[in-house]
Each structure stands twice: as C-alpha cells, then as structure tokens.
A = this chain, B = another copy of it.
Amino acid sequence: MALLDELQRPTLLVNTEIARKNIAFMAEKARQKGVRFRPHFKTHQSAAAGEWFREEGVTAITVSSVDMAVYFADHCWDDITIAFPINVRQLRTVNALAKRIRLGLLGESMESIQHLQGQLEAVVDVWIKIDSGSGRTGLAWDQPTEVARLAHFVNSSPITRLRGLLTHAGNTYSAASREEVCQRYQSSVTRMANLQSDLWAGGYGLLELSVGDTPGCTVCSDFGKVDEIRPGNFVFYDGQMLRLGVCSPQQVAAVLAVPVVALHPERSEVVVYGGAVHLSKDVIVENGRPHYGYIVRLEVNGEWSEPLPESRMARLSQEHGIIAMPADAISGLHVGDWLGVLPAHICLTVAAMGGYRTLDGSLIKTCTPAEPV
C-alpha cells in the first residue's frame, strides 16, 4: 500500500535521502574548513536519526536539555554538550551523566559555577556562554573583564575544566538576506576571537571557540577562527530557512502531511486537520505578514512538490489549520485529500509531533516529550 494510503492523521514525513545529503554536506564542509562538527540534536531529537550522523563520522554532539543528554548517552553518545544555561535543579542527573560521558556545560554566572563546584563529583567541561549579539543570554561580548573573572572562577576548581567560549549567533535567523546572515556570523566570530585573544593575553590559555547556527554554517564560506560548529536545523531545514534563502526547496527534508477536512473556495481557503498542537505556532514573516508554513502537493509515496504559489498556512487553532490558496487550486481538491505543510520552525514541529515517518513507512520516535515530572 502506498504511504499516504496508510496514514489517517497529521503525520510528519521525513525524506531521509534529503536529510542524509544535508548531513553529508555539513560534515564535509566542516572537514574542509578544519573545524569540529558537533551537530545540535535538538532538531531531529531521535536516536535513529543520530545514526545518520554517526555514519558521517560524527562523534560529538550538542543537545538542549539534560534529559536529551541522558537520552543520547543511553544511545551510546559519549561526548555531549548541553547548550543551555545550567539548570541547577538537575545537578543530580548532571552528576550521573558526568560520570559516564564527556560532558560539556555552559556557564555564564559565578552562582551557577559555584553550584557545580559544590555538588559535582566528576569533571565536566565548561564553556563560557557569550552573548555575541543575539541578546538571549550569556555574558556580553563587550565585557572582557567579566568574562575573565568567570574564567578565573571556573579555573579555581579542577572539577570544572575551562574548555572554551561558546555562542549562538541566533541573530542570523532574523537577517534579511544571505549576505546579512554572513555579516552577522562574521561579526559574531570576530567578537568571539577578540575575547579569545584577551583571555590568552590574561593567561587563560588558548580557549576553543564554538559557534552554532544553521544560517551561518550553511551560507558562509569563511568560518573564521572557530574550532567547532553546532548547527542543528540544517538536517531538515524548514520554512524559515527557505524564506531566508538559506536553503532551496530541494533541501527541505520534512513535511507535515495533513488531510483536507473542509473546502471554502469562496474565500480561497482550505481547512485541514493539522493545527497548533501539530505545527506549534512559530511564524514566517513575509511581506510584513506572518504565516505558519508553505503548502506543497504530496505524492502517494510521500514525496512532495515545490511550495505551491500563493499558498500559505494562514491561521492555526488547536487542531484546525486554515490554508489560504488560490480558488482555482482548491477546485481540484476533495475532503480526505492530503496536503503538505513545510513548517515555519521544524524543531518545534518535531517536538510537538513526538515522531516522524520516513518515506518507506518506518516510524522514528523522538525523545520528547520526556515523562511529565
């Protein structure tokens, strides 16, 4: 039976051929540039997809939570950075992890490091989290004295091993063009390299530089003085990356298949079963207006077309998706037909769906949601 004929509900489909090409491309780029490739696994969130990276020679990974680190450690990954500020409420779990794998943590305050030094029983790598311009969290890139003070404090105990400086140049996501992505990436790397020099001059040794963001790592031809890249989203890419021109439609590896449940040609809208609980509610802003994803046609084997012209996921409620598309495109549709949505932000869609199907029909479950405790 063809894949789509087996499906009944909103289903996230992954084209593994495309995903593996995306991985191979980034792994090769890292090799050519001589940087460590420590991909972020928060996008695919699955041990099965992790194996695709292993086959490309990846041995070190990034995750976004302690629980995700436990999950991947349980699947034989033994060099993991948790790229999220230390949650001191989970230090017991962190301790257990630190005893079994090489664990990297992010420090950005004396207070958090103090907790680590007081409670850990096994050595961890500490990366000082730098805010290189995105304004989310971390020590500010233009406060070298603060950074040196924290570096000094990390060094004050052998249990916290100062490894390097880490940033997420997340402001590349809001760039207006590929050129701006590169400018922001370069600006971020320059700021990191300056801090590295300052710390070198201060006697802290040559700290490693870790950066990570899919737009920068995909688009920029010069990685600058970084030692490690941590992109994640690129494994599947998504509507936001497409909008930014970071990837082509042929590189998008995941689509949410949704059944049509009502047709409203009189107002150029189609209602599908596929809402906020499936896609999450991140947006793509296009011509000043937000929408929730691009619409594609699905083949019965699960492959999909390029985005259909003037077709967008316009509104979402809990389970309803309202697609805006031209009336003439609607005229050929029936209830029960499948449409595809290239989600705005695939990481959130993966988390919401809890798993995906490959085009050969295999089910890949993710590590989320963790047990609700």
Which segment, of A27-35, A198-206, A303-311, A351-359, faces chain B?
A351-359
Q: Which of B9, B84, B334, B357 contacts A370 (CB 8 A)?
A: B9
A193 lies within 8 A of chain B by Cβ: no
Is B318 in contact with A271, judged by CB distance below 8 angstroms? no
Complex contact B263–A12 (CB within 8 A): no
A15: Cβ under 8 A from any B Cβ: no
A373:B88 contact, CB within 8 angstroms? no
Minimum distance in angstroms from A119 CB to a CB of chain B: 11
B87 adjacent to A9 (CB under 8 Å): yes
CA distance A87 to B136 in the complex (A): 41
Contact A372 B356 (CB under 8 A): yes
A 186-216 to B, binary, CB cutoff 8 A, 1 in contact else 0: 0000000000000000000000000000000
Considering only residues 334-373 of chain A, those with a C-beta below 8 Å from chain B are: 334-336, 347-348, 351-357, 363, 365, 368-370, 372-373
Is A302 in the interface zone, CB < 8 Å from B? no
Question: Assuming A136-B317, A282-B281, A334-B111, is B90 touching A9 (CB within 8 A)?
Answer: yes
Q: A369-B369, A370-B9 are in contact. Are A351 and B318 (CB under 8 A)?
A: yes
- Cα distance, A137 to B281, chains bound together (Å): 19
Taking CB atoms, residues of chain B closer than 8 Å to A87 are 8-9, 259, 261, 273, 336
| A277 and B368 contact, CB distance less than 8 A | yes
Q: Report B-chain residues with C-beta under 8 Å of the C-beta of A12.
A: 372
The A interface is mostly helix, strand or loop, or mixed, namely mixed
What residues of B have a CB within 8 angstroms of the CB of A347 in the complex? 318
The 10 closest A-B pairs by CB, nearest first: A355-B372, A85-B261, A281-B281, A88-B336, A277-B351, A137-B271, A8-B89, A354-B369, A85-B262, A89-B259
Known: A9-B65, A12-B372, A84-B261. 14 other contacts (CB 8 A): A7-B89, A8-B93, A8-B373, A9-B90, A109-B263, A115-B336, A137-B262, A137-B320, A277-B352, A318-B348, A353-B369, A354-B369, A357-B372, A363-B372
List 12 interface pairs A-B (beta carbons < 8 Å), by A numbering.
Answer: A8-B93, A9-B65, A9-B89, A84-B319, A88-B259, A109-B262, A111-B335, A115-B335, A136-B322, A351-B352, A353-B372, A363-B372
Which residues in A have some Cβ–Cβ distance to B below 8 Å?
7-9, 11-12, 42, 64-67, 84-90, 93, 108-109, 111-112, 115, 135-138, 170, 259, 261-264, 267, 271, 273, 276-277, 280-282, 315, 317-320, 322, 334-336, 347-348, 351-357, 363, 365, 368-370, 372-373
